[in-house]
Structure 1
């Protein structure tokens, strides 16, 4: 166990014991993720290139002898939620974090899994609002833990699909499969090229001499405020007008012939070009061609900014600063759903100290602080620890 994981394990175990008076039966860990390239392509049946990272969510559980689920959230001052498995679950308007718990348990029940009442403690060390999938890691870890209590094991891809249902149908963010799938299926030392239609996973090794830097812009993002779902509706409208089931099947000639309005055309153009960039990026990574990969990341960010219109000025500023510091041997782009969050940069490991210093000297978050900078290597997916 890494020191980071040990500290989180100690936190969630202590929270559980303080609340329930005994040690948990199981602790599940599921990682956050950073997407190297391929934004808003997953719900268009396209391609993405994420990797699991070190920060994670841990869920400690023990079985109760009734149908009550009693939850404590260590990261929210020991906030509590309590509900009955035999009662139809509704959203908790007072505690939004609880919706992810309720949603995952509801999704498991809807898929026919028999769950017992449980005592649950949750803790995570993913920065909130950074676009690194803290919600997906919570859903996947909770699902793994609750199924372990029930003595049931399922394929991790199936677990990810159920977690996606929880977020789409209960929480209300009409997300694609990427976040949950990489949290469930992450692989040490590898990004994964995910075909979001077939769910085929192709290993994309990240060489040891390549560094992944994540910089939080300090602009906290949230996706249930309408922007994310609006982009999805625009993509679905474009696919219908072009005459395909999803934009993954469209090309730029088909788009030009469809006669769509300017906004819908831009949205579709981003997805079509981003899919090709993602395939090209996986190839560049396999060849350790950081120059080609960097150029694709630059193009990706420009497309998110100009065609999909999901960046914000501090993010654009940060990407420019990162690109200037890195030079031509790597690249930077916004990562995640947009409207704030983090940027991801790829560079030679030997550049990390220089790039970090440049960003700390030149970028201040909107609230006047030095930005959070994380250096990551691809890590494993969900597990009982």
Structure 2
């Protein structure tokens, strides 16, 4: 499969659950949950849903916090997902002027199967009719023609539904009064634990985007001119998630949309979004374990996620200046772009993984320019502005006007060290998998080669965890303890997955040791003590790469 073909594939619309999961056998464990969702929708809204939008969570095997520097990553979809059942709601002509949001054009009644999430009713407003005090600023991701109220300071479950809706409204309903969104009823259920690092937020935004596209007929064959392929959906979902206050690099959305059930994905973002399959060793299993420390990257974005985005962007400018790489005064250049320009890479052309690894290795010794006085201590805001070579006014415009951050010192060197070494680990992980996949030697030597491959992959994962903890400071005591216990229980490699600061770990475990591994971690991780079997089954489980997002058309 070519690197461009996945992004260019159409968004799949299925009518059979077998097609969603690849086989009858694979679909059986999911059938009861899907049937329950359809039956509950019918109870609540008086009719069957027209569609069910599905978006899986993801596990990032390696490549943490480097996607927004435009370096490649290696995630895979998991079988846990977000499902949104939806159907258009008929509104009588005289009801169009009713004051209730549910009767307005595009009005939404949103409910959630989980009882802790209260039902919501909301409707989009044409931007021209929004009171001046409610206008979206340019820094809030251009609202274009429509406006939906999303409270970033007190984020609620429906904010992700609204975020998905936003992109559909502003990309497909900009033609004036003749093109109005349909009112819709929807019911959400999810099996991706929130704040676990398995990207429940991206899955929700992708599923929401798909649900509103489907219910408004934008996925029908006659609308093919809209060019709604997987790559377009990823870009739309990335843009949509920014509306809840997270400046995502695109890994979460791409893996949720583009994943293949047999492989991990090697996703690159430079010079454009591409994805290619990477077959994993058949005798290897990946076990996900939840630290039970909730990591809400929206709530803590100012101190964690968004701060790291700014630190890496400023670090890229400082490095470019030191290397003599030309950049625009108001350009938010990334590390990957600096590396490409330094290496003389042609515009719009990827130098390739082998050459990229060579250049990265050569530049690692030149990152010392990001240190203060030759030490690894952080720099103050004033020092960072001076290092950038910009005036305070221009610096604020380029790096601070569009994002909220909170810090007294900035760790430019350590963040860059992690990004460069992690980017190389991804390339080495990919090459190791490709080498063993292409092996044509005898079965005995193939088994030996695969065992060596698994050991190499495990070492890379362990190195990644150490870098995430020491250089990028996105681990936490519980994740450090859980990865240590995982290695003691037989994992070849174990690391945090997701944004970090809580959430889950992913461990590489030989297939024949998965049961004993899980049993041992259940016994030794303190937070698991006292949990019942159902709770433990949700907290730690083995997974295989799953299929990407789709829409299921419910037939009468």
Query: TM-score range, shorter-chain basis?
Result: over 0.9
The counterpart of 2:424, out of the listed 276, 279, 285, is: 276
- Between the aligned partners of 1:326 and 1:78, the Cα distance in structure 2 is 39
TM-aligned CA deviation for residue 366 of structure 1:
7.8
Normalising by the residue count of structure 1, what TM-score does the alignment of the two structures yield? Answer: 0.94
**In structure 2, what is the Cα distance between the partners aligned to 1:208 and 1:256?**
41
Aligned to 1:188: 261
Gaps of 5+ in 1: none
What's the CA shift for 1:128? Answer: 1.9
The alpha-carbon deviation at position 325 of structure 1 amounts to: 2.1
Q: Distance in 2 between matches of 1:15 and 1:5?
A: 16
Q: Distance in 2 between matches of 1:297 and 1:94?
A: 35
1:85/1:117 contact within 8 Å kept:
no
Question: Is residue 2:205 matched to residue 1:205?
Answer: no
Cα distance in 1 between the residues matched to 2:479 and 2:515: 21
Q: Give the C-alpha shift of residue 129 in structure 1.
A: 1.5
Match of 1:71, SS state, is strand
The partner residue of 1:72 within 98, 111, 115 is: 111
What is the aligned partner in structure 2 of residue 247 from structure 1? 335
Q: CA deviation at 1:324?
A: 2.1
User: What is the DSSP-based 3-state SS (H/G/I as helix, E as strand, rest coil) of the residue aligned with 1:111?
Assistant: helix
Q: Give the C-alpha shift of residue 75 in structure 1.
A: 2.1
Post-superposition offset of 1:284: 1.9
Which residue in 1 is equivalent to 2:170? 110
Q: Which residue of 2 aligns with 1:36?
A: 61
Which of 485, 510, 530 does residue 348 from structure 1 map onto?
Answer: 510
Q: CA deviation at 1:208?
A: 3.3
Worse-matched range after superposition: 279-288 or 293-302: 279-288
Q: CA deviation at 1:10?
A: 2.7
Contact kept, 8 Å, 2:523 with 2:529, in 1: the verdict is no
In 2, Cα distance between equivalents of 1:95 and 1:259: 36
> Structure 2: 5+ residue runs without aligned partners?
1-16, 18-26, 91-104, 127-146, 174-178, 220-227, 326-332, 340-362, 378-410, 437-449
Give the number of aligned pairs: 382
Deviations 1:124-157 (A, max 9, x none): 1112221101111111112122212222231112
2:206 partner SS:
helix
Mean alpha-carbon deviation: is it higher for 366-375 or for 138-147?
366-375
* Partner deviation per Cα, 1:291-329 (whole Å, 9 max, x = no partner): 1100000100000000001111111011011112225xx
Q: Is 1:264 matched up with 2:412?
A: yes
In the TM superposition, residue 259 of structure 1 has moved relative to its aligned partner by 4.5
Residue 76 of structure 2 contacts residue 255 of structure 2 at CA under 8 Å; is this kept in 1?
yes
Give the root-mean-square deviation of aligned CA atoms: 2.0
Indicate conservation of the 8 Å contact 1:70/1:120, yes or no: yes
**Where is the strand percentage greater, Structure 1 or Structure 2?**
1
TM-score, length of structure 2 as denominator length: 0.66
TM-fit CA distance, 1:76:
4.1
SS at match of 2:231: helix
Q: Which moved more, 1:360-369 or 1:318-327?
A: 360-369
Q: Of 443, 448, 465, which residue of structure 2 is paired with 1:301?
A: 465
Which of 207, 213, 216 is equivalent to 2:290?
A: 216
Question: SS at 2:365's partner residue?
Answer: helix
